[in-house]
């Protein structure tokens, strides 16, 4: 297909998905289903026009993998670790042990389901069964994030944070199990280049995937924080572009290092790496963070549209309703949703004294989605469609559609029925979340003994229009103030005010006070600064000082200055 037509198709699809997304709030169904439907409709139109089915699984694997990297990184970047910390241990337990146990239980169920079905008189082998279990073992980050955030579900007991962390971090285990069983089947079927794997090699591969994936994720996250805090980018939105590049590197380098060096044990899991990198960057104070949040929110939306459209485009509706696809898909979904997932969640969370309604919601919220289909595409493209005894892609695709449609649609209702909704309809947020996403800034004001507000109730404190005191920190106590609240000397006030946006109307520069600099030891009021120049802040020994006239300058200070004129100050 000519690249111009590909661009035309992509543009038309994204525009259509954006408009269709407005409908989902009214019909109360997950928007991902509509994106799949649009993809399937395009596939039908293509066949009506006399073209063959689009079955380029290799291309689908590449596109969906890249989009999944964006979704997983964005999920980590948007995870509030302070909220998730109380449930981080349980989330990681579900991510790794829970995913492995789910794969095993579902694999056993798949084996007996295929033994009983008349469409497969000889059944299928154990390895083929565990491949299905591995592919659909993980809950899907794209689906879970989409449902929780679009429906604005604030679940009790930090359950929203637990589900987001679990779904964002369990894809690596599902992917590694898929790779293991694909390798076993490749050796069994005699696929070119495949080698048999022993138990020791499998354990070593899993250990290296988790270990090096986590190591690279931490390394890239720390490197990114260091660079973003200490270096300025000369291009507009340079920090945002750098974060995107970092996400791609965090995924790709651990993924290719083993094959590039020829040392398989160095291979790490890219999905785990990019998720950890996202968490570290998202919970750090970095420059242009608000821009990053907005950028990745938009990019994740486009990635989800493209993934589910392409999956619908790859599918063939008449194939999905064949008994040998639809019947096993429904039975596997029921077994997994009603038996396997609840059994695993209960076994892992009961020792933590989790409440029954929480266990029920976590069990039900195990949505399957794009990750499962991406892993199915990987398996099909590696093994070949003709080698597998079943239509793996179509079966997994059916399971995903049923899961998103049934579990995703009923999750808000069941959350309400099980009394799992919090006091508000929104997920708990922090000051940083809103400061990163809106044009409101939160600033602290320390009230000294001579401060004009000291000893006065807030209603008598003169402050600019649009300026609000939202919190008062008084010693060990934190107060939500009212008009009668008296401000005491020593209080720390957290204030909210609109952010200044017209940054193009003035220039900023830094002046470093090295050894023998003429300004060392002088007070700010004694400096002969050019007209229209002001010292806005001082970076000193890793901290920041807001200066006043009596502030003495020290060797090693970096002065951040605002300049309204075009002339450089004579600072020597």
State which fold the 56-417 domain adopts.
Na+/H+ antiporter like fold (1.20.1530)
Confidence tier at 46 by pLDDT (50, 70, 90): low
Q: Is the pLDDT of residue 548 over 90?
A: no
Task: Report the C-alpha gap between 431 and 510 in whole angstroms.
Answer: 29
Class of domain 439-498: alpha beta
Give the pLDDT score at 107. Answer: 93
Q: Is the pLDDT of residue 34 over 80?
A: no
Give the pLDDT score at 570. Answer: 43
pLDDT per residue over 140-195, tens digit each? 766 676 676 666 667 777 787 788 788 877 877 888 888 888 888 888 777 765 55
Give the pLDDT score at 109. Answer: 93
Dmax over Cα atoms in the chain, in whole Å? 93
Q: Could you tell me which of 567, 561, 560, 564 has the C-alpha nearest to residue 506? A: 564
The residues with which 444 forms a beta bridge, in sequence order, are: 494
* Angle CA 92–93–95, to nearest 5: 60
pLDDT per residue over 379-394, tens digit each? 888 887 778 888 888 8
State the average pLDDT over residues 297-307: 79
Q: Which helix (H) or strand (E) holds 494?
A: strand 492-498
- Report helix, strand or coil for 446: strand
Give the pLDDT score at 481. Answer: 83
Task: Report the C-alpha gap between 254 and 569 in whole angstroms.
Answer: 48
Confidence tier at 436 by pLDDT (50, 70, 90): low
Q: Is the pLDDT of residue 122 over 80?
A: no
What residues have CB less than 8 Å from 180, skipping those under 6 apart? 134, 197, 202, 205, 206
Q: Are 468 and 434 in contact (CB under 8 A)?
A: no
Question: How many CB atoms within 10 Å of residue 486?
Answer: 15
Q: Is the pLDDT of residue 546 over 60?
A: yes
Q: Is the dihedral of CA 118, 120, 125, 130 positive or negative?
A: negative
- DSSP assignment letter at 455: T
- DSSP assignment letter at 457: B
Q: Is the pLDDT of residue 455 over 60?
A: yes
Q: Is the pLDDT of residue 327 over 50?
A: yes
Q: What percent of the chain has pLDDT over 90?
A: 12
What residues have CB less than 8 Å from 254, skipping those under 6 apart? 212, 213, 216, 267, 268, 269, 270, 273
Q: Are 264 and 205 in contact (CB under 8 A)?
A: yes
Confidence tier at 328 by pLDDT (50, 70, 90): very high
Q: Could you tell me which of 64, 40, 37 has the C-alpha nearest to residue 53? A: 40
Length of the chain measured in residues:
572
Give the pLDDT score at 6. Answer: 64
Give the pLDDT score at 27. Answer: 57
- Report helix, strand or coil for 193: coil
Q: Are 500 and 447 in contact (CB under 8 A)?
A: no
DSSP letter for each residue of 17-77: HHHHHHHHHHHTS-HHHHHHHHHHHHHHHHHHTTPPP---HHHHHHHHHHHHHHHHHHHHH
Give the pLDDT score at 426. Answer: 47
More confident residue, 207 or 423: 207
Confidence tier at 218 by pLDDT (50, 70, 90): very high
- DSSP assignment letter at 537: E
What residues have CB less than 8 Å from 267, skipping those under 6 apart? 205, 208, 209, 212, 254, 255, 257, 258, 259
Give the pLDDT score at 534. Answer: 85
What residues have CB less than 8 Å from 459, skipping those under 6 apart? 483, 484
State the average pLDDT over residues 241-266: 79
State the average pLDDT over residues 19-30: 61
Q: Could you tell me which of 238, 271, 225 has the C-alpha nearest to residue 378? A: 271
Q: Are 75 and 152 in contact (CB under 8 A)?
A: no
> Do 56-417 and 439-498 show the same overall fold?
no
Its pTM stands at 0.68
Give the pLDDT score at 384. Answer: 79
Q: Is the pLDDT of residue 214 over 80?
A: yes
- 411-416, Cβ contacts within 8 angstroms, sequence gap of 24 or more: 411/147, 411/151, 411/153, 411/361, 411/364, 411/365, 411/367, 412/151, 412/153, 414/360, 414/361, 414/364, 415/153, 415/155, 415/361
Give the pLDDT score at 334. Answer: 94
Confidence tier at 568 by pLDDT (50, 70, 90): very low
Q: Is the pLDDT of residue 99 over 70?
A: yes
Class of domain 506-563: alpha beta
What are the backbone dihedrals phi and psi of residue 138, each rounded to the nearest 5 degrees, phi first? -90, 145
Tokens of 195: 């080698």
Confidence tier at 283 by pLDDT (50, 70, 90): confident
More confident residue, 276 or 191: 276
Confidence tier at 260 by pLDDT (50, 70, 90): low
More confident residue, 225 or 146: 225
More confident residue, 60 or 171: 171
Tokens of 112: 């007996």
Q: Are 136 and 368 in contact (CB under 8 A)?
A: yes
CA trace torsion 440, 424, 403, 301 (10° rounding)? -10
- DSSP assignment letter at 98: I
- CB-based burial label for 244 (10 Å; 0-12, 13-18, 19+): middle
109-125 burial, b at 16+ Cβ within 10 Å, e below that, comes to bbbebbeebeeeeeebe
User: Where in the chain are the domains?
Assistant: 56-417, 439-498, 506-563
Give the pLDDT score at 212. Answer: 83
Q: What percent of the chain has pLDDT over 70?
A: 79
Give the pLDDT score at 347. Answer: 93
Confidence tier at 105 by pLDDT (50, 70, 90): very high
Average pLDDT over all residues of the chain? 79
Give the pLDDT score at 17. Answer: 67
Task: Report the C-alpha gap between 436 and 291 in whole angstroms.
Answer: 8
């Amino acid at each position: 297909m000519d690249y111009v037509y590909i661009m035309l198709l992509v543009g038309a699809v994204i525009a259509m998905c954006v408009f269709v997304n407005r409908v989902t709030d009214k019909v109360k169904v997950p928007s991902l289903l509509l994106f799949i439907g649009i993809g399937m409709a395009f596939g039908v139109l293509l066949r009506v026009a006399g073209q063959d089915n689009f079955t380029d699984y290799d291309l689908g694997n590449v596109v969906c993998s890249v989009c999944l990297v964006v979704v997983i990184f964005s999920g980590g970047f948007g995870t509030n670790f302070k909220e998730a910390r109380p449930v981080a241990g349980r989330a990681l337990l579900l991510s790794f042990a829970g995913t492995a146990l789910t794969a095993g239980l579902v694999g056993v169920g798949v084996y007996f389901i295929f033994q009983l079905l008349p469409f497969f008189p000889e059944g299928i082998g154990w390895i083929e069964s565990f491949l299905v279990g591995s592919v659909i073992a993980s809950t899907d980050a794209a689906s879970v994030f989409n449902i929780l955030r679009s429906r604005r579900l604030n679940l009790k007991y930090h359950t929203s944070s637990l589900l987001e962390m679990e779904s964002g971090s369990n894809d690596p285990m599902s992917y590694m199990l898929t790779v293991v069983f694909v390798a076993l089947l490749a050796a069994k079927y005699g696929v070119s280049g495949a080698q048999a794997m022993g138990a020791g090699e499998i354990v070593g591969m899993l250990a290296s995937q988790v270990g090096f994936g986590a190591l690279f994720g931490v390394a890239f996250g720390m490197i990114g924080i260091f660079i973003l805090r200490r270096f300025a980018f000369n291009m507009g939105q340079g920090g945002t572009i750098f974060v995107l590049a970092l996400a791609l590197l965090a995924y790709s380098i651990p993924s290719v290092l083993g094959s590039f060096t020829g040392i398989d044990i160095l291979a790490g899991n890219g999905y785990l790496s990019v998720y950890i990198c996202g968490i570290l960057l998202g919970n750090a104070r970095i420059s242009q963070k608000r821009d990053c949040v907005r950028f990745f929110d938009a990019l994740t939306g486009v990635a989800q549209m493209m993934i589910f459209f392409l999956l619908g485009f790859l599918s063939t509706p008449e194939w999905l309703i064949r008994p040998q696809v639809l019947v096993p898909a429904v039975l596997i979904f029921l077994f997994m949703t009603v038996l396997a997932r609840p059994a695993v969640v209960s076994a892992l969370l009961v020792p933590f004294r989790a409440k029954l309604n929480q266990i029920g919601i976590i069990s039900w919220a195990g949505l399957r989605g794009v990750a499962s289909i991406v892993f199915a595409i990987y398996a099909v493209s590696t093994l070949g469609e003709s080698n597998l005894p079943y239509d793996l892609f179509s079966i997994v695709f059916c399971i995903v559609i049923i899961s998103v449609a049934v579990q995703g649609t009923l999750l808000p209702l069941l959350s309400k029925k099980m009394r799992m909704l919090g006091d508000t309809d929104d997920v708990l947020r922090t000051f940083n979340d809103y400061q990163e996403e809106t044009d409101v800034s939160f600033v602290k004001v320390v009230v000294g003994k001579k401060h004009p507000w000291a000893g006065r109730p807030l209603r008598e404190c003169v402050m600019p229009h649009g300026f609000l005191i939202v919190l008062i920190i008084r010693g060990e106590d934190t107060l939500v103030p009212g008009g009668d609240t008296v401000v005491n000397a020593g209080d720390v006030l957290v204030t909210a005010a609109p952010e200044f946006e017209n940054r193009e109307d003035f220039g900023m520069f830094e002046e470093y006070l090295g050894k023998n600099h003429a300004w060392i030891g002088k007070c700010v009021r004694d400096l002969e600064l050019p007209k229209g120049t002001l010292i806005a802040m001082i970076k000193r020994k890793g901290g920041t000082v807001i200066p006043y006239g009596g502030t003495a300058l020290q060797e090693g200070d970096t002065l951040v200055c605002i300049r309204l004129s075009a002339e450089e100050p004579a600072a020597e």
